[in-house]
Amino acid sequence: MAAWNGYPAVVKMLLEKDAEPNIHAPNTNFTPLYFAAKGGFVDMVESLVKSNATINVETSWGVTPLQASVIWKHLPVVKALLAAKANPNIADKDGLITIHKASHYGYKDILQELLKGGAMKDRQDKLGRTALHHAVLTEKVVSVNIL
């Protein structure tokens, strides 16, 4: 609940008291790291990673904390998770990886970070589309130029 509601100091205190960093919600598999990444709380993300939170944990839809940080455009969190060795090439249930999402939305800085972090720009989703396809389909010229 502290992660979900954006209370980094409370999360840090709970972790210092040996709270389980990998607790997850039934059915959705949402974890504190997922909520921290989605909310853009880089300090919370770093505290959870330091406490051995599973970095590449997936929700019931196959969304990782890194994917959540990309979708919600939280560049500092993207950088922190990539530095902690988050895998940018895990696909959600639609076969989308982080680079598909960043190129779809035209997130220039995040797209560049993902490429530096090992995102596979030619990886295809379930429909056979690459990141470049997503950029063209959504008319994101900035993404097309980077790719």
- List the chain domain ranges: 1-65, 88-147
pTM: 0.96
The predicted-structure confidence for 61-115, as pLDDT tens digits, reads as follows 999 999 999 999 999 999 999 999 999 999 999 999 999 999 999 999 999 999 9
24-43 pLDDT, tens digit per residue, is 999 999 999 999 999 999 99
> What CA–CA distance (Å, rounded) separates 32 from 100?
24
CATH architecture type of domain 88-147:
Alpha Horseshoe (1.25)
- CATH match of 1-65 with 1.25.40.20: yes
| DSSP codes joined into one string, 30-74 | --HHHHHHHHT-HHHHHHHHHTT--TT---TT---HHHHHHHTT-
